[in-house]
Structure 1
């Protein structure tokens, strides 16, 4: 008789949701077989799941499990997640003899090969320099409000992430790709005052809202150390390596003296940009934006045709300026509304863009020749 390596039962839906979240860290193509797996551990009434790509390590714990035999093993991520997602609701039973894992819900059953727990890599090491807590909602907001401006050019790898740092009064998140910039201020948490600035990779930024789950009001503990950052809550741990390099002095590009101001509806402006971009085969095509008394006129001219849209605005100056249509669209989708404020200087200078419903953030979008 073969010793059972692991056995437990748990609600199928709860485990499926956790597996889906952890699987986001697992890369589809790997140089090591084990990196295509997630680690399952059953102990003390809960099941923990871990995934890693050696740059990022995610752990999610699911409570309410009935543990038959505690233990741990690694199971292929894609196949296990796909099976759980498609099975009916009910009690899921899982057991393994150390060579294969068998999972069942009702009459649905699957058997998968496994690898031993000792083979699963662990990058979660390093001494902690700074520890503080912030609301989970601020983490999600950082991703939503700054993620769109993160750079993608590997030549300037130091721009491929969100720069998190402490100022005299706030904890600040900034992202820029050299063409647009988004800054988001948060109240200074206790313990973060002496924090060294860190650059959090874009992949980490994109994944953490999914790992946080639905209850974003819970506090998240943030720890930083040499080369890493770690986010922890009661049922989630996300450990990430940091982007190396020195972040540029972004304050130099945030205009402070722009005195020609236009206020417009976020919804109206977004709709106008969407309509115009239908005529753009290149999503980075330039839009001409003309400010006039009481309105903003947006227009496009391309091989696909010409179009213009008018948006009512609180505006009393005349100016024409060009913008990348894709950048405008991505910026507007991150705003709460109902109004966006554009503070202009001249056609060759970037505006300072603010969300009237969100005073904690500032956006800069560089103009382009149209």
Structure 2
């Protein structure tokens, strides 16, 4: 095997590929990237057995062949090579040589035949989404994905078709994020699937390389999902084998107290008073709602107290409610408009947050005792 490739092209590809590879592996070959020199260019693949990324890049191929080499080591080498250099990759026996300008490296390899590949299976549901819509589905929900491994069925985004819409939902039990877009052609009979957190993160990184209108082809079954970004880049992932809870039960429909407030002012106010919150117990920010204003306050036994008044539209009965300030900031960070509507019931009931009644996204936040 022998090929020559531009350093910038190889680096960009390796940046995508190596992030799939876990730093610690009990199976040595899972630390490697598969490199195949073909007539159409260099094809690189990485996997952790649940997730697989494949990219093909332009290169001058002198000798076809394939091998595997440490993904992180190769990435670090290419990253440190001079800009604009041409990188020559050659394999002989069980060594790969990497040559660029005056630099030369010799790396250990493992056999290509031992490299695991996620089996190609039938993916009966297929549809396409503009990159802009897929970005919005991810950005509006992924912050609410649970990291609690025991509740594995919450460790991803639940993607499903309902009422003529494609809906994405994530929750960790403390907050819930939901967004829906018009159902794309081909998705009507799709099964409800839970896309794992790591897959979501890798898809989101790849989306940064594509314009808003670039079509992303999505194919899925009940066990796998594939995102084809272009003819050169594909990501395949296993899905979470579990049942997502009936999230509709926690979305309040009768919250009768409406707070209309500038999202930026509220976010900045919460961020300022939270400066004294240094422990898990002091993460609660108290909202004291009165006529046309909200007073934000945080109390910390170690640091003292902080308070700030924010103007707002509010005409219901005065009361107080507390939220985890980080969760509240996460939600406010997704609001695209100047004003946000906060629908409240009482200090113990779920609170509904959305830009307005017509917005595609809504958020539910559970209160804290304050």
Q: CA, structure 1 residues 46+311, in 2 after alignment: closer, same or farther (shift >3 Å)?
A: farther
Q: CA, structure 1 residues 67+213, in 2 after alignment: closer, same or farther (shift >3 Å)?
A: farther
Asked if 1 retains the 8 angstrom alpha-carbon contact of 2:161 and 2:192, the reply is: yes
SS at match of 1:337: coil
Which residue does 2:293 correspond to in 1? 295
Render the CA deviation track for 1:218-249: whole Å, top value 9, x for unaligned.
11111112411111121321111111111111
Query: 1:30-41, aligned counterparts within 5 Å?
Result: 30-41=25-36
Which residue does 2:21 correspond to in 1? 26
Which residue does 2:344 correspond to in 1? 344
Which residue does 2:224 correspond to in 1? 228
Task: Give RMSD over aligned pairs.
Answer: 1.7
Q: CA, structure 1 residues 358+139, in 2 after alignment: closer, same or farther (shift >3 Å)?
A: farther
Render the CA deviation track for 1:72-110: whole Å, top value 9, x for unaligned.
211101110011111111222211114211122222232
Which residue does 2:246 correspond to in 1? 249
1:73 maps to which of 62, 67, 73: 67
Which residue does 1:281 correspond to in 2? 278
Render the CA deviation track for 1:273-331: whole Å, top value 9, x for unaligned.
22122211225621111122222211011122110122222222323111111211222
Question: Are 1:309 and 2:308 counterparts?
Answer: yes
Asked if 2 retains the 8 angstrom alpha-carbon contact of 1:22 and 1:211, the reply is: no
Unaligned 5+ runs, structure 1: 1-5
Render the CA deviation track for 1:202-221: whole Å, top value 9, x for unaligned.
11111211123421431111
Query: 1:66-105, aligned counterparts within 5 Å?
Result: 66-89=60-83, 90-105=85-100
Q: CA, structure 1 residues 39+212, in 2 after alignment: closer, same or farther (shift >3 Å)?
A: farther
The alpha-carbon deviation at position 269 of structure 1 amounts to: 1.7
1:43 maps to which of 25, 38, 45: 38
Which residue does 1:260 correspond to in 2? 257
2:158 maps to which of 159, 163, 175: 163
* Distance in 1 (alpha carbons) for counterparts of 2:140 and 2:147: 17
Which residue does 2:268 correspond to in 1? 271
* Distance in 2 (alpha carbons) for counterparts of 1:263 and 1:104: 62
Which residue does 1:212 correspond to in 2? 207
* Distance in 1 (alpha carbons) for counterparts of 2:127 and 2:350: 35
Which residue does 1:3 correspond to in 2? none
* Distance in 2 (alpha carbons) for counterparts of 1:339 and 1:7: 58
The alpha-carbon deviation at position 356 of structure 1 amounts to: 5.0
Which residue does 1:141 correspond to in 2? 136
Q: CA, structure 1 residues 108+263, in 2 after alignment: closer, same or farther (shift >3 Å)?
A: farther
Asked if 1 retains the 8 angstrom alpha-carbon contact of 2:168 and 2:178, the reply is: yes
* Distance in 1 (alpha carbons) for counterparts of 2:93 and 2:293: 69
* Distance in 2 (alpha carbons) for counterparts of 1:253 and 1:321: 18
1:129 maps to which of 124, 131, 143: 124
Q: CA, structure 1 residues 98+170, in 2 after alignment: closer, same or farther (shift >3 Å)?
A: farther
Shifted more, 135-144 versus 187-196: the winner is 135-144
SS at match of 2:12: helix
